[in-house]
Chain A
Amino acid sequence: GQNIDQPTEMTATEGAIVQINCTYQTSGFNGLFWYQQHAGEAPTFLSYNVLDGLEEKGRFSSFLSRSKGYSYLLLKELQMKDSASYLCAVEGDYKLSFGAGTTVTVRA
Chain B
Amino acid sequence: GAVVSQHPSRVICKSGTSVKIECRSLDFQATTMFWYRQFPKQSLMLMATSNEGSKATYEQGVEKDKFLINHASLTLSTLTVTSAHPEDSSFYICSALEPGLRVYAYTFGSGTRLTVV
Contacts and interface: CB of A to CB of B under 8 A. Distances in A.
B109 A95 contact: no
Interface string B15-33: 0000000000000000010
Contacts of A95: 34, 46, 49
Name the prevailing secondary structure of the A interface residues.
strand
B104 A42 contact: no
Interface string B82-105: 000000000101010100001110
Interface residues of B, number: 23
Contact of A100 (B43, B91, B97, B109): B43
Given A33-B106, A40-B91, A42-B93, A100 B34 contact: no
Interface of B: 6, 32, 34, 41-46, 49, 91, 93, 95, 97, 102-104, 106, 108-111, 113
Interface of A: 33, 40-45, 48, 87, 94-101, 103
